[in-house]
Structure 1
């Protein structure tokens, strides 16, 4: 199977999930998570029709950006040290892991005047100690506090579900994030339109799409591992 074949299969699966949920498949963006693959493989993914690349380590993120600047939309999906924020501003288009004020402050400090940084607030819906992110109860107060940082635009929420053999077991996590997103939307916060949901990976993205995912982060079944 080539990357193009993999991409076609993933798109077909997304279409089926959207049909089941009464959604438009055009509302779901596929992010190719290229953290485990070479620059050559990432380049092959772009040639196959991938438009969004996701990285979770600073070194790999900068390497991919230097190679493919102007050829892709870039997503940083991992934990980012506050002091390293300056290295990605102006390069990466989306940040999926905003979960603390120290990072928000650094983004605000480093963002060019008049520009916006599109962020997802990371939520630990499952409550697993091994997962980063805010608790369900912490999320709305945190989002409200971000009003002090006009450079930040909270476009949505992100979560990582537990890795389980049966993807259906992850459904309550995805549903919980969607319900929380809906709560945030009802607040009508100008700095937090919060329309998007970044959730679902290679093993469970079809369930995430059924529950409302608008961005899915797919690595192994799309670009493989090296």
Structure 2
């Protein structure tokens, strides 16, 4: 089924329904996060819930912010820019979580607190160059292709340390951790295996004590598997459809 793209013209009735559902969904997800955190020996506040807001209108997003959803992640540069001026930016933290082309880096550097999808030295250098022009340091995560899938971006797990060491020498950028999107798995044990592998890589790199690298964030887990991700060590989960409902927003 083709996904209908966000255009900002959702009918008021549908907007209000989305808000009602969001309030209940958010409550349930917070309860699930608390349970998963407890199962992993941590506190709920140790886990950051990042709302994946692809196709979600700014009005619905701002309602979510009023409920306490304060970390937002956008996937597409064009959509992010179309909503940027409407966000309640005083009460939220904006991040970019999608694949980022080097020719679009300058459009988001300075507007987001964290870029989650760095997978090459070339991209890191472009982010750093744009950051230095603005006199800032941009926080990033290195994306790991933990399943070795050809159709996905991300550095190979066995090459992650070498990439991190190279990025650590670049001024204007600071690596704060790792991000991964594991393959779709039919069995719970399979997805847990990928999450566990990411946790091990995360801990191994932290133990290297590489300059300009701080392993604070392990971003993994989405709507279908965020509880398993937390139980396996995630510090941040990216939840979209479980919060906002199916992505079926109208096109102009």
Q: TM-score, normalised to structure 1's length?
A: 0.95
Contact 2:50-2:238 at 8 Å conserved across structures: yes
Asked if residue 13 in structure 1 is aligned to residue 35 in structure 2, the reply is no
Distance 1:36 1:218 in 2: 13
Residue 81 (structure 1) aligns with: 101
Question: What is the count of residue pairs matched by the alignment?
Answer: 226
Asked if residue 125 in structure 1 is aligned to residue 143 in structure 2, the reply is no
Superposition deviation, residue 165 in structure 1: 4.1
Superposition deviation, residue 130 in structure 1: 1.9
SS for the counterpart of 1:193 is strand
Larger Rg: 2
CA deviations on 1:161-202 (whole Å, 9 max, x unpaired) are 122344442111111111101111111112111121000000
Asked if residue 180 in structure 1 is aligned to residue 201 in structure 2, the reply is yes
| 1:36-185 equivalences in 2 (<5 Å) | 36-68=55-87, 69-112=89-132, 115-185=136-206
SS for the counterpart of 2:90 is coil
Distance 2:49 2:84 in 1: 18
Distance 1:31 1:191 in 2: 24
The answer for unaligned runs of 5 or more in structure 2 is 1-19
Distance 1:56 1:200 in 2: 15
Q: CA RMSD in A?
A: 1.4
Distance 2:188 2:83 in 1: 30
Superposition deviation, residue 114 in structure 1: 5.1
SS for the counterpart of 2:147 is coil
Distance 1:115 1:103 in 2: 17
CA deviations on 1:22-66 (whole Å, 9 max, x unpaired) are 111111111111102222221221122210111110011112322
Asked if residue 31 in structure 1 is aligned to residue 60 in structure 2, the reply is no
The answer for unaligned runs of 5 or more in structure 1 is none
Superposition deviation, residue 117 in structure 1: 0.9
Distance 2:45 2:54 in 1: 25
SS for the counterpart of 1:180 is helix
Contact 1:65-1:74 at 8 Å conserved across structures: no
CA deviations on 1:130-149 (whole Å, 9 max, x unpaired) are 22101111100000001221
Superposition deviation, residue 14 in structure 1: 0.9
